[in-house]
């Protein structure tokens, strides 16, 4: 089975519904969106996708490319401060502990004879422990302390 044609067909199918060459992804809390650019023509490209998070989250995803070298991702907040970078997108990317707010995720690289990329971006809200969880933790530590003291 020829994997390159299959992967290229998948890339083109996904990128047809994607925000080609960047764009707004809207609010991506607890959801997954498709991204891609089927026709990277310039020697250097810099595609930016903007999105918002309503809650603290982990932003992660994966991207694959054809004909692109030095393919990497950069996450910036609304003040253009770099939150994280990943220069090895072959194993996916993940940015943990991201606060609520507006962000820009940029994909960049070099393409000598044209190229393409596609992938997904997801955000999962970080759970916040309930007060009952802390109460149970303290009760458990107190019980362990009581048992250690009683053994002495």
**CA gap 58, 63 in Å, rounded:** 17
**CA gap 52, 27 in Å, rounded:** 5
The domain segmentation of the chain, as residue ranges, is 3-151
Instruction: Specify whether the CB–CB gap between 68 and 42 falls below 8 A.
Output: no
CATH no. of 3-151: 2.60.120.380
Supply the pLDDT for residue 143. 87
**CA gap 134, 50 in Å, rounded:** 36
Average of per-residue pLDDT across 111-117: 82
Tens digit of each residue's pLDDT (9 = 90 or more) over 2-53: 544 544 444 444 444 333 467 888 888 888 888 888 877 778 888 899 999 9
pTM to 2 decimal places: 0.67
pLDDT higher than 70, residue 137: yes
Average of per-residue pLDDT across 104-114: 86
């Amino acid at each position: 089975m020829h994997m390159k044609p299959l992967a290229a067909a998948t890339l083109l199918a996904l990128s047809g519904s994607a925000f080609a060459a960047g764009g707004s992804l809207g609010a991506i809390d607890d959801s997954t969106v498709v991204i891609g650019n089927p026709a990277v023509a310039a020697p250097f490209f810099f595609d930016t996708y903007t999105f918002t998070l309503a809650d603290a989250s982990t932003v992660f995803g994966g991207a694959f490319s054809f004909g692109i070298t030095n393919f990497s991702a950069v996450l910036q907040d609304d003040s253009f401060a770099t939150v994280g970078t990943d220069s090895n997108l072959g194993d996916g990317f993940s940015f943990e502990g991201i606060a609520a707010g507006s962000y820009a995720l940029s994909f960049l690289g070099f393409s000598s004879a044209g190229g393409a990329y596609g992938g997904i971006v997801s955000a999962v809200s970080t759970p916040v422990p309930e007060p009952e969880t802390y109460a149970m933790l303290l009760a458990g530590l107190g019980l362990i302390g009581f048992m250690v003291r009683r053994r002495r």
